[in-house]
Structure 1
């Protein structure tokens, strides 16, 4: 009986989603963005409401990254699979317009989150067996912001042909929508995601959507205590932060007040 009821509820859910979210049907939606910027949250939110299996989540789709920068080793195997899935779908659904959602995040926070999510890129042993000082040293020795600061200039530009820096970004609202060739592009600032998500989805898809939760957050996992301690104790020289926060990635997406707060937080 429970199995029957479950099947009935599943069919009802599909019928409801098919009717209520019909505006998503003829779209190919790709959450294509930097890693560790909250993209899993948006991907999961959209995936659960669409019955058409037209929602994808990728970090790399350009030839430069897939065929050159990521060609060595199997560390990025999941990225290759995700890209292959998108290309296969696009080949069969070339008539559908592509809707790209990308996010940005303040680079220091993003790099710490990446460290906690991918510790094997920084240390050889188990992250839970390392002391806080040891983790900090390992992190600082391999810290590099190139991926974060240059992703839009390499990966995003090469795949979409759209230079995000050529158009203004609404720093106060926290999101902007752009039209470029056969792409519709939505860029959201992670720090504003909770307050602007509904407005952004309304303008982008003409749907009333709400954000129900966060996915894939290190602060919710077994290493949450270490993550919090690193966030609280890692500090940088003011000169180093001043150089970092003058990069066009920062000045394009963040207000002067936000930049000031970032400097105060990490110095």
Structure 2
């Protein structure tokens, strides 16, 4: 019996390598829409900077059906694989599983700002000499801060006729919704990997699903400046606006006071504490 367990682990590892090789080929991934019609495709459709790439890449290695990862879903999408999935979904009675992760909007937006640094700053991070304070001001002024706040209406409600704000979001940090076309899993970005593995595994029918992390900001060249900007905090008016939005109150209602404390610029917090 003891020798069987290592053999099973080796075999599982071999199967994952085979699946990983296959998943790198977009055509092979999409072919499963035709060759495996019995398995619903999974689309990790999300707003970005919610650790979703780890979810989709892990699923591609372990799920037998089509797995795609993206930020949009339309007939004229810039990506051919997404357009193919869109046509498949809107043709007849084809069902789909959708996974969307949520993150408190301030931290999410700061992360997205640094990920797309040159778009907002006008130069690559390596060529920038801005201070943390200057970058904080550029972020507040130029970034589209409503992006996460409006995301569910723009992509989930419009495509699948599911309004997530009509359903109470559980304290456990995840929710599954179903209609005649899709099964939707909404879950918090900041859940532990152990919980994510269990919830996603149950959702897609993978008993031994394992989550493999990647694309972590601490590995990026901007990681130190990113941490500095986060530690500085944000203007009180900005923090208040973001935290009082429907999105934040729906998904992070019990954490509002904590989020306000950690994100309000530190000199303002310190001044209040001294009074």
Task: Normalising by structure 2, report the TM-score.
Answer: 0.75
State the 1:91 CA deviation.
7.3
Aligned to 1:112: 110
- Find the aligned partners of 2:72 and 2:84 in 1 and give their Cα distance: 12
- Find the aligned partners of 1:16 and 1:124 in 2 and give their Cα distance: 42
1:250 aligns with 2:248: yes
Instruction: Find 2:41's aligned residue among 1, 24, 28.
Output: 28
The alignment partner of 2:241 has SS state of helix
1:262 aligns with 2:274: no
State the 1:134 CA deviation.
3.2
Aligned to 1:213: 212
Aligned to 2:198: 199
- Find the aligned partners of 2:195 and 2:163 in 1 and give their Cα distance: 23
Cα–Cα, structure 1 residues 14 and 194, in superposed 2: closer, same or farther, change >3 Å?
A: closer
Cα–Cα, structure 1 residues 43 and 90, in superposed 2: closer, same or farther, change >3 Å?
A: same
Aligned to 1:143: 143
State the 1:99 CA deviation.
0.4
Deviation per CA, 1:126-168, whole angstroms, max 9, x where unpaired?
2122222332232122133211101111221111111111122
User: Which ranges in structure 1 are unaligned for 5 or more consecutive residues?
Assistant: 1-8, 18-22, 68-76
Aligned to 1:45: 58
Aligned to 1:13: 15
CA RMSD of aligned residues (A): 3.0
State the 1:47 CA deviation.
0.9
User: Which ranges in structure 2 are unaligned for 5 or more consecutive residues?
Assistant: 1-10, 20-35, 265-275
State the 1:113 CA deviation.
0.7
Cα–Cα, structure 1 residues 232 and 126, in superposed 2: closer, same or farther, change >3 Å?
A: same
Paired residue total: 236
Aligned to 2:69: 57
Q: Contact conserved, 1:104 with 1:189, CA < 8 A, in 2?
A: yes
Cα–Cα, structure 1 residues 36 and 85, in superposed 2: closer, same or farther, change >3 Å?
A: farther
State the 1:27 CA deviation.
1.4
